[in-house]
């Protein structure tokens, strides 16, 4: 099984950005945690981060035939990118939306996701664990765990 992890804008600044909300783990540390957990479970991972909507869409298009599922944290694009939503709908792969913070406990504009309706599920507010749970969910769906 191969999963594509997509990180949207500003997530490259994890560890220095709003630490009280996102925690002190850097982006490099988070991706290491994801990669190590995935490999322990025999899952291949590809990790992509971009601050640009079009690059995220290109990545979804380019990788669509090589992967079994997507784990996406679209960052602020969560709340308004119809284009990323359409790309996910178009490739029709099982997708989990993950947020480090609990978007429902924050500003009103973060309560709505335009991405969630085209996803298999959403994990929000569990920090880095959300990514580990996303891997677990794909394994459970495959009947491997």
Q: Which residues bind ligand DQA (CB under 6 A)?
A: 10, 73, 75-76, 78, 99-101, 103, 110
Catalytic: which of 22, 77, 80, 112?
A: 22
Measure the CA angle with vertex 102, ends 135 and 109; round to 5°: 120
Cβ proximity of 70 and 99 under 8 Å: no
Catalytic: which of 39, 99, 104, 111?
A: 99
Q: Is 39 a catalytic residue?
A: no
Separation between Cα atoms, residue 78 and residue 93, nearest integer Å:
18
Identify which of residues 80 and 120 has a Cβ nearer to ligand DQA in the complex.
80
- Residue that is written with structure tokens 């290109």 in the block: 58
Least distance to ligand DQA, CB of residue 69, Å? 19
Separation between Cα atoms, residue 121 and residue 134, nearest integer Å:
9
Separation between Cα atoms, residue 134 and residue 114, nearest integer Å:
19
Q: Is 77 a catalytic residue?
A: no
Least distance to ligand DQA, CB of residue 122, Å? 11
Least distance to ligand DQA, CB of residue 98, Å? 7
Identify which of residues 1 and 47 has a Cβ nearer to ligand DQA in the complex.
47
Residues assigned a catalytic role: 22, 99
């Amino acid at each position: 099984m191969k999963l594509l992890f997509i990180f949207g804008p500003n997530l490259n600044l994890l560890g220095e950005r709003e630490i009280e909300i996102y925690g002190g783990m850097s982006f490099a540390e988070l991706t290491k945690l994801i990669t190590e957990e995935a490999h322990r479970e025999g899952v291949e991972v590809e990790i992509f981060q971009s601050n640009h909507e079009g690059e995220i869409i290109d990545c979804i298009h380019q990788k669509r035939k090589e992967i079994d599922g997507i784990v996406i944290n679209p960052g602020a694009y969560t709340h308004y990118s119809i284009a990323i939503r359409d790309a996910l709908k178009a490739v029709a792969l099982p997708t989990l939306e993950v947020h480090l913070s609990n978007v429902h406990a924050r500003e009103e504009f973060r309560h709505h996701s335009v991405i969630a309706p085209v996803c298999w599920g959403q994990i929000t507010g569990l920090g880095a664990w959300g990514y580990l749970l996303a891997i677990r969910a794909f394994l459970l769906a495959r009947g491997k765990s």
